[in-house]
Amino acid sequence: MSEAEKSLGRPMGSARHNQWRVGKASVSLVRPPIEPKRLSIAAQPQNLLIDAARSAFIVVDMQNDFCAKGGYLDYRGVDVTPDQKPIGPIARLAPELRSLGVPIVWLNWGVRTDLLNASPSLLHAHCPDGTGAGLGESIPGGKPILVEGSWGAAIVDGLVPDDRDIRVTKYRYSGFWDTELDSILRNLGVTTLLFAGVNADQCVMSTLQDAMFLGYDCVMVEDCVGTTSPDYCMLATLYNVKLLYGFVTDSAAIRQGIQAAAGEAAGEPAAGNEGARTHG
C-alpha cells in the first residue's frame, strides 16, 4: 500500500485483504495484495500446489448428535464410531492450519425451535417412518435434536474451536444453501476449500458439490471425514470427488507440505515434496 493510500484515513472492511481506505476527500478501492503461501501436497488424481493464504478448512457437522453417545444417531441405533474417527486427525491438523492463518470454519446443523426453517421433506429424512423423535424434537429422556444452541448441536468433545475460528449454522445438507458461508469466504478472499467432517457422503459431499458449482477449488481430506453409511458409500464419494469435483488428500500430506514450506522459508534445502509422494 502506498503512503498516499495510507494517508487517506480509515480502513473500511472486516477482512484485512478486502478493505477500502476512506477519507473526507477521497476513497481508495485498491485492496491490499495477498502474499501467496505455497504448499505442495500429495493428492489424487494429481498432486497439488495450493495457496494457504487463499484457503479455508471447512469442518462439517462434527456435533454430538452425529458423533457422541446419547446423540441423535446413537438414539436411532446407529454405531457412531465411524463418525468419531475424524476427531483425532482434525484436532491435529486444525492448529497447524490456524498457525498459517488459514481460517477454520465450523459448519454445523442448527434448526429453529419452531422448525420454521425445516421443510416436510427435511423432517421426513430425520424421521422416515413417523415414529420416534425427529429433527427439533427431544430424545426421550434426553436433549433436543440439532436445535441451534442445544447439546446435540454442540461440537463433539475432542475438538476445541479457537476464538479466531468462524462458526456458520446450516439447516440443509449443503452448508451453502441459504447461509452466509459463501459471503464470508468471498470476503476473506478464499478460493480453495479443504473439507473435513461427517457424514462424508451426505452433508460433506453436498457442501463440496455446491462449492465446486460456485467456483471454489475443492479438496477432501480423507482421514478427516467419516460416515456411518456402508463402505460402498464412502468409496463412491471418494471416486466422485476425484472424478468430477476436485481432489482427495489426507492430513499427513498437508502437514508434510506445511513442514516443507517452513523448512524452505528457513533456508533449508527443499525436500522435494511436490510429486515425491502420491496420496492413496
For 53, the grid coordinates are: 493464504
Residue 203 is a catalytic residue? yes
E-strand spans in the chain? 10-12, 20-22, 27-28, 38-41, 48-51, 55-60, 104-109, 166-170, 192-198, 217-226, 247-249
Residue 224 is a catalytic residue? no
Q: Which of 67, 74, 182, 203 is catalytic?
A: 203
**DSSP letter string, 84-142:** HTTHHHHHHHHHHHHHTTPPEEEEEE-B-TT-TT--HHHHHHHSTTS-S--TTSBPTTS
Q: Which of 61, 65, 201, 210 is catalytic?
A: 61
Residue 127 is a catalytic residue? no
For 79, the grid coordinates are: 454405531
Total residue count of the chain as it appears in this document: 280
Report long-range pairs for 32-39 (Cβ below 8 Å, ≥24 apart): 32/1, 34/189, 37/100, 37/101, 37/261, 38/261, 39/254, 39/257, 39/258, 39/260, 39/261
Q: Find out whether 35 and 82 touch, Cβ atoms under 8 Å.
A: no
Q: Which of 74, 83, 143, 170 is catalytic?
A: 170
Q: Find out whether 210 and 176 touch, Cβ atoms under 8 Å.
A: yes
Which amino acids are annotated catalytic? 61, 170, 203
